[in-house]
Amino acid sequence: MSEFFADVPQIKYEGKSSTNPFAFKYYNPEEIIGGKSMREQLKFAMSWWHTLGADGTDMFGSGTVDKSFGTDGDLMKLAKAKVAAGFEFMQKLGIDYFCFHDADLAPGGRTLAETYENEEIIKETILVEMKKTGIKNLWGTSNCFTHPRYMHGAGTAPNADVFAYAAGQIKKAIDLTVAFGGTGYVFWGGREGYETLLNTDMEMELDNMARLHRMAVEYARVIGFRGDFYIEPKPKEPTKHQYDFDAASTIAYLCKYHLDSDFRLNIEANHATLAGHTFQHELRYARTNGFFGSIDANQGDMLLGWDTDQFPSNVYETAMCMYEVLKEGGFTNGGLNFDAKTRRGSFELKDIAYAYIVGMDTFALGLRIADRLIQDGRIDQFVQHRYASYQRGIGAEIVSGQATLKTLAEYALQMGEVHTNQSGRQEELEGIINNIMFSL
Ligand code: XLS
Ligand code: CA
Ligand code: CA
């Protein structure tokens, strides 16, 4: 069988002093960090779309990367070649999971029935490779945003026929996810938003989106899906405003529509920054509200206002991300999906391997630092101490629910002015992080 990534050897861990670009410097899959092997802690996944599909096309130019994988324009042949190329790539990199959109796997047909047929054929090809390699599916999703029929949205479309078509597509994408034994199913509402409120019935659109999510849960549970559903927040792009703006607005939506027991969040780093938050903020918000699920691992460019989906190389960001993951007790059904693509100028197939190596190493370093941060304990102790006044006296009465506005007013009247505030010590804490980060 032909090799698609012929320049890429089997990638192994060689340690931080290695200068081999085709080696991991920090990701040592079987090493135990924080009570589990690094491969279990990190649960890396390959994104089918970016890795096997994205060819460098942007708003101003056509593709720069040849991803025909030796095929001649026949879309089904290409879809099969992508399966072979994808599994070769995951094996070479030691990636245990993949994530997919229905449309990444197989070409759309002239009818929905024909699309289903194409998907069935590729499903069988993938199942063979999964069995051979032991590689698993992290999550599946449906692309309800690229085709022109979704110009006004899918679940939030003003046209009921579009809603029905999306339902037909999602049903099949759930079937595929279940067939692959996937542990998650994602909804990213790329066009579930609006361009102008002048033509939009927001209430109707949100009610309908919830109807679609409810139908998906009901169907999936009946056919045996026991994994998590995820909503992946993103504030804008392609629409001006997306309803799943950030973790906070998405959680409010899930609670309002009673979807909170089936859904968690898939937090993407680049979407967090587009919403004006840090990656860590979104993870913390999801986690402390009980909605932490999975992660789309990438990074944006702070000087650009769009979703650049770059491979993560910022160790500070991944350290704070893995700190939140460890605090959560690690992933259950979720993992780290590299929703990331090489830059348009990095047009060789081996650039994708370099990109994954740096992404995986950046997360491996992040995990090592986060574990040290927790072992070190200085940050956690500081935070605990900062709120110590709630463990005794009037603070304990507030927390236990014993205090009322009236009793607190009486307390305040007797107390006089507050003289016990303590420094927030931000700079000292930032120094501790640097000290731990660079002592590795
Ligand atoms: C786009 C999203 C998308 C989702 C899956 O910005 O990141 O790729 O992850 O539909
Ligand atoms: Ca994503
Ligand atoms: Ca993205």
Render pLDDT for 365-386 as a digit per residue (tens, 0 to 9). Answer: 999 999 999 999 999 999 999 9
Q: What is the pLDDT of residues 192-206, one digit of tens each?
A: 999 999 999 999 999
In whole angstroms, give the CA distance from residue 279 to residue 268. 7
Mean pLDDT of the region 229-251: 98
The string of DSSP codes covering 26-62 is: S--TT-EETTEEHHHHH-EEEEHIIIII--S-BTTB-
How far apart are the CA of 393 and the centre of ligand 1, in A?
49
- Tens digits of residue pLDDT in 51-65: 999 999 999 999 999
CA angle 313, 315, 321 (to 5 degrees): 110
Ligand 1 mean position, distance from CA 388 (Å): 41
Residue 244 Cβ < 6 Å to ligand 1: no
Which of 169, 170, 234, 246 best tests ligand 1's pocket when mutated (most atoms within 8 Å of CB)? 234
Closest by alpha carbon to 268, among 241, 222, 301, 233?
Answer: 233
Measured CA to CA, the distance from residue 290 to residue 265 in angstroms comes to 10
- pLDDT in the model for residue 1: 57
Q: Residue 82's pLDDT band (boundaries 50, 70, 90)? A: very high
Q: Is the CB of 268 under 6 A from ligand 1?
A: yes
Query: Residue 439 has what pLDDT?
Result: 87
Atom index in ligand 1 nearest the CA of residue 50 equals 8
pLDDT above 70: percentage of residues in the chain: 100
Which pLDDT does position 2 carry in this prediction?
Answer: 76
Indicate which atom in ligand 1 lies nearest the CA of residue 307: 6
pLDDT for residue 440: 76
Give pLDDT tens digits for 132-179.
Answer: 999 999 999 999 999 999 999 999 999 999 999 999 999 999 999 999
Give the tens place of pLDDT for each residue, 209-235.
999 999 999 999 999 999 999 999 999
Tell me how far the alpha carbon of residue 23 lies from the centroid of ligand 1, in angstroms: 28
Q: In the chain, what is the greatest distance between 2 CA atoms, to the nearest angstrom?
A: 84
With 90 as the cut, is the pLDDT of residue 80 above it?
yes
Mean pLDDT across 7-25: 98
The residue to mutate among 170, 232, 308, having the most atoms of ligand 1 within 8 angstroms of its beta carbon, is: 232
- Which is nearest to 45 in space by CA: 126, 109, 139, 121? 139
Name which residue sits closest to atom 4 of ligand 1, judged by CA.
188
Q: Which residue's CA lies nearest to atom 2 of ligand 1?
A: 188
Q: Cα(130) to centroid of ligand 2, in Å?
A: 23
Ligand 3 mean position, distance from CA 287 (Å): 21
Catalytic-labelled residue, pool 50, 101, 213, 271: 101
Does the beta carbon of 270 sit less than 6 angstroms from any atom of ligand 1?
A: no
Ligand 1 centroid to residue 185 C-alpha, Å? 12
Check residue 255 and give its pLDDT: 98
Compare 420 and 312 and report the one with higher pLDDT: 312
Q: What is the pTM of this model?
A: 0.97
For 324-379, write each residue's pLDDT tens digit: 999 999 999 999 999 999 999 999 999 999 999 999 999 999 999 999 999 999 99
Residue-averaged pLDDT of the chain:
98
Rounded average pLDDT over 316-321 = 98
Ligand 1 within 6 A of 296 CB?
A: yes
Q: Is 232 in the pocket of ligand 1 (CB under 6 A)?
A: yes
Share of the chain above pLDDT 90, in %: 99
CB contact at 8 A, 374 and 34:
yes
397 C-alpha to ligand 1 centroid (Å):
46
> Is 205's C-beta closer than 6 angstroms to any atom of ligand 1?
no
Average of per-residue pLDDT across 387-399: 98
Which ligand 1 atom is nearest residue 234's CA?
Answer: 6
Q: Extract the tokens encoding 128.
A: 């063979």
Domains, in order of start, for the chain: 33-376 (3.20.20.150), 396-437 (no CATH)
The average pLDDT across 258-266 equals 98
Ligand 1 pocket test, pick from 230, 296, 298 with the greatest ligand atom count within 8 Å of Cβ, gives: 296
Task: Report the pLDDT value the prediction gives residue 210, as an integer from 0 to 100.
Answer: 98
104 is catalytic: yes
- Encoded tokens for 330: 């690690």
234 lines ligand 1 (CB under 6 A): yes
Atom of ligand 1 lying closest to residue 266 CA: 9
- The dihedral through the CA atoms of 269, 275, 281, 287 has a sign that is negative
> Ligand 1 center to residue 296 CA distance, Å?
8
Structural tokens at position 389 = 């006044």
Ligand 1: atom nearest CA of 145 is 10
Beta-strand pair 32-33/36-37? antiparallel
In short, whether 262's Cβ falls inside 6 Å of ligand 1 is no
Examine the residue annotation and report whether 309 is marked as an active-site residue of this protein: no
